[in-house]
Structure formats: C-alpha cells, structure tokens
Amino acid sequence: MERRAAVKNMAFLIGGALSATTIGVFLEGCSGPSKSDGKLFSDDQQLLITEIADIIIPTTSSPGAKAAGVGPFIT
C-alpha cells in the first residue's frame, strides 16, 4: 500500500471515530421536557436575596431594592 493511501485511510478512520463520539455526546444532551417547577430558589432563599439586595441598595430619598422589586427580578 502506498503511503498516501495509508495516510488517507488513517485520516478517514480517525475522522469517523471522532465524529461518532461527537454525535453520541450531542444526542446524549437531548432529553424530554423538564419536570422542574421552574423555581431556582426556595422561598427562604428568595427572602434572603431580597433582604441582601435591600442592604446593598437601601431606601434613601429614592426607593430601595425592595421597592424596585429587585428580589423577585433576581429570582
């Protein structure tokens, strides 16, 4: 077998093996609809985030984080 033909065949085999692996990983990520309720944080965590935001941006002459609804926006 000539060197060019051998290199061509090796490249074909390696490319096929890599693409098969890539397709397998890609298809593994496909799944059905999520069974999550869509909530990222629990109710206690949402309250904590709201309080922390109000500490960072307190109410002064302008509305603070609670009045602006920063907690629900983040969560």
Amino acid at residue number 9: N
Q: Which of 12-16, 28-32, 36-40 has the weakest average pLDDT?
A: 28-32
pTM of model > 0.75: no
pLDDT at 32 over 70: no
Structure confidence by residue, pLDDT tens digits, 12-27: 888 777 777 777 777 7
pLDDT at 47 over 90: yes
pLDDT at 58 over 90: yes
